[in-house]
């Protein structure tokens, strides 16, 4: 394995995206969602990027890329249609740089993601086949649907309740493990959140 899997905290970190097309827009949206301070360098922007700029969610340098544009950037994504520009950005980058369609020229790749509330699943073929990553992602999306996100929120609050109300440490540990049991997850998938949460609450009443 060449890559080291990790999740980055980009809150208030400077992120520079070189390019203003559709691919760049997808990357920018994910960076904004992660709390990064995003700056886009491109002569032109998609309508979506223009909207983000008008809303004050990103900054825009309306021109072609120049050396020095990456100064202070924690993370860089080069997403232009020019291999030469992308390569130049990779060479100039001081820290993390991702080159669209040229992963070997950067030092990190962005995996395909499935998000369900607080659950994030990353899928990667290490750049070998984005199509396979996408296919696997679709399978996982079907397996972990909106009901799972709802159950996860329920577990978050119930865990606090269990820690407070179950005094016996061994019983408490067993109960918390049961929240992710094969049986409960099968109930969630086959009968929905209501049935799964009902069984869990009954179990909590018995163990208190």
| pLDDT, tens digit, 9 for 90 and up, residues 89-107 | 999 998 899 888 788 788 8
User: Distance from CA of residue 61 to its chain's centroid?
Assistant: 26
Average pLDDT, the chain: 93
Looking at the chain, the domain(s) classified CATH 3.40.50.720 span 1-110
What whole-number distance in Å separates Cα of residue 42 and Cα of residue 109? 22
pTM for the model? 0.74
pLDDT tens-place string over residues 38-68: 999 999 999 999 999 999 999 999 999 999 9
Asked whether the beta carbons of 200 and 150 are under 8 A apart, the reply is: no
Domain covering 1-110 assigned CATH 3.40.109.10 in the classification? no
Query: What residues are paired with 113 via a beta bridge?
Result: 122
Query: Tens digit of pLDDT for each residue in 28-37?
Result: 999 999 999 9
SS3 40: strand
| Separation between Cα atoms, residue 163 and residue 175, nearest integer Å | 10
Q: Which of 181, 162, 182 is nearest to 173 (CA)?
A: 162
């Amino acid at each position: 394995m060449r890559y080291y899997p990790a999740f980055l905290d980009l809150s208030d970190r400077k992120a520079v995206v070189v390019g203003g097309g559709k691919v760049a827009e997808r990357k920018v949206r994910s960076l904004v969602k992660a709390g990064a301070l995003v700056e886009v360098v491109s002569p032109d922007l998609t309508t979506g990027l223009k909207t983000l700029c008008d809303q004050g969610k990103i900054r825009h340098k309306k021109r072609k890329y120049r050396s020095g544009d990456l100064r202070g950037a924690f993370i860089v994504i080069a997403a232009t249609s020019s291999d030469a520009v992308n390569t130049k950005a990779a060479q100039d980058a001081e820290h993390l740089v991702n080159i669209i369609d040229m992963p070997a020229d950067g030092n990190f790749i962005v995996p395909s993601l499935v998000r369900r509330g607080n659950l994030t699943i990353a899928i990667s073929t290490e750049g070998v086949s984005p199509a396979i990553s996408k296919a696997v992602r679709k399978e996982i999306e079907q397996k972990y649907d909106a009901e799972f996100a709802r159950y996860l929120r329920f577990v978050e609050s119930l865990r606090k309740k269990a820690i407070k109300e179950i005094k016996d440490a061994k019983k408490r540990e067993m109960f918390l493990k049961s929240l992710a049991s094969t049986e409960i997850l099968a109930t969630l998938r086959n009968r929905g959140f209501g049935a799964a949460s009902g069984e869990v609450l009954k179990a909590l009443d018995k163990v208190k």
